Amino acid sequence: MQLNSGRAHHLETFKDMQRNSEPLKQVNSQILIGAPPGEKSPDPKGSGWLAQMTDNLSALFKPHVQARELVVITTPPTSSLPLKDLKKTVGDPPAHIAFHSRQNRDYAFLMNFATQRSDYFLMVEDGVNCAPGFVTQIATAVSAWAHRPWVTLEFSQLGLTGKLFHAGDLPRIAHFLLLFHQEMPCAQLLSHFQGLVQSTPVQFLPSLFQRSGSPSYFEEDNVGSPSNPAASIHTSLEAANNSVPSSAYSLDENVFYAKSVEAGSHLTVVLDTPAQVFRVQVQTGSNLRDENRLKEGYVELGYDSSNRVSDCDDYVLLGPLVAGSLDKRVLSHRAGRKVKCVRVLVTDRMPSAVVLRHIRLWAE
């Protein structure tokens, strides 16, 4: 099913789902604390532990509530589906099935509540730390992908944490979670959903989120100078000014000039020996003319399982070029996966010449 960006279309689809889906009919999420912009602050009612919890949270986060930065909701237990007659999933004990079934429905109810309250929805689970400036980095990525189709932008590899969606897509995602709530955990379900509508994952590295208590990798440390391991350069870009593609990968001040470029053009660095790359820096444009920047493109890391000579068979997005540049830490190197290719891919035609100033790798 092709997802449509039309908000009215999604709203109509969601109304149909509500009419035909028993779980969503029963949802009656109540705002306990705070209120979204444009709505009156609620006067929560309750007794016992729920009232006490509401009071505690209201006092603890008073500045955030007053600034309309925090909304706390609850879904009454009576709205939940019964957990009897759970399907026996291969290899999963009943307790695990019950846990991920309830969790899938909780996520669906949350997405249901968030559908019409913003343009984007970012899932952040509890027990994680956020990188400094993570909101700005996500906003930059969204801006860079504004004219490209996507269903999910992934800013971490921690289950659901760091997954960004269009709010208009939430009704279908919520319905999907409810339809298959017993089948598997939410992260796996969303992976299946994404596979139906988005051919390849859009992943950004380094991760902007990490588990609390894990050694911090957010703080910049001195990683030394780039090493640029021995490699061959392959490109479909046409050289200009007698320059050569290898100049883009050299550690001196030489640069590579390319004539007007077309979408799909690339310059690929293929390492002689795959290496654990932990930082990639790409810079385009000259010091004199901004129009020499590659304004529409992104950088991918390539892996190879078929021993190709001049390419790789598996590419993962490292990030888009922003103002013609990219400087990213690569955290996946800690898992031991070695990079063979680094590819700069053009995503839109440029009528003017492009200068690839340098591609620098830090590897071990």
Instruction: Find out whether 129 and 91 touch, Cβ atoms under 8 Å.
Output: no
Q: What is the 3-state secondary structure (H, E, C) of the chain?
A: CCCCCCHHHHHHHHHHHHHHCHHHHCCCCEEEECCCCCCCCCCCCCCHHHHHHHHHHHHHCHHHHHCCCCCEEECCHHHCCCCCCCCCCCCCCHHHHHHHHHHHHHHHHHHHHHCCCCCEEEECCCCEEECCCHHHHHHHHHHHCCCCCCCEEEEEEECCEEEEEEHHHHHHHHHHHHHCCCCCCHHHHHHHHHHHHCCCCEECCCCCEEECCCCCCCCCCCCCCCCCCCEEEEECCCECCCCCHHHHCCCCCCCEEECCECCCCEEEEEEEEEECEEEEEEEECCCCCHHHCCCCEEEEEEECCCCCCCCCCEEEEEEECECCEEEEECHHHHHCCCEEEEEEEECCCECCCEEEEEEEEEEC
Q: With 0.95 as the threshold, say if the pTM is over it.
A: no
pLDDT digit string, tens, across residues 211-227: 887 766 665 555 688 99
pLDDT surpassing 60 at residue 100: yes
Structure tokens at 101: 């079934």
- Boundaries of every domain in the chain: 7-29+75-85+92-125+132-209, 231-363
Report CA-CA distances (Å) from 180 to 111, 295, 320, 363: 16, 41, 34, 43
pLDDT at 267 > cutoff 70: yes
Calculate the average pLDDT of the chain: 80
The pLDDT of residue 78: 46
The two beta strands, 202-203 and 152-158, are: parallel
Whether pLDDT at 183 is above 80: yes
CATH superfamily of 231-363: Galactose-binding domain-like (2.60.120.260)
**Predicted local confidence at residue 341, as pLDDT:** 94
Per residue in 104-159, pLDDT (tens digit) is 888 888 898 888 888 999 999 888 999 888 898 898 888 888 877 888 998 988 88
333 pLDDT exceeds 60?
no
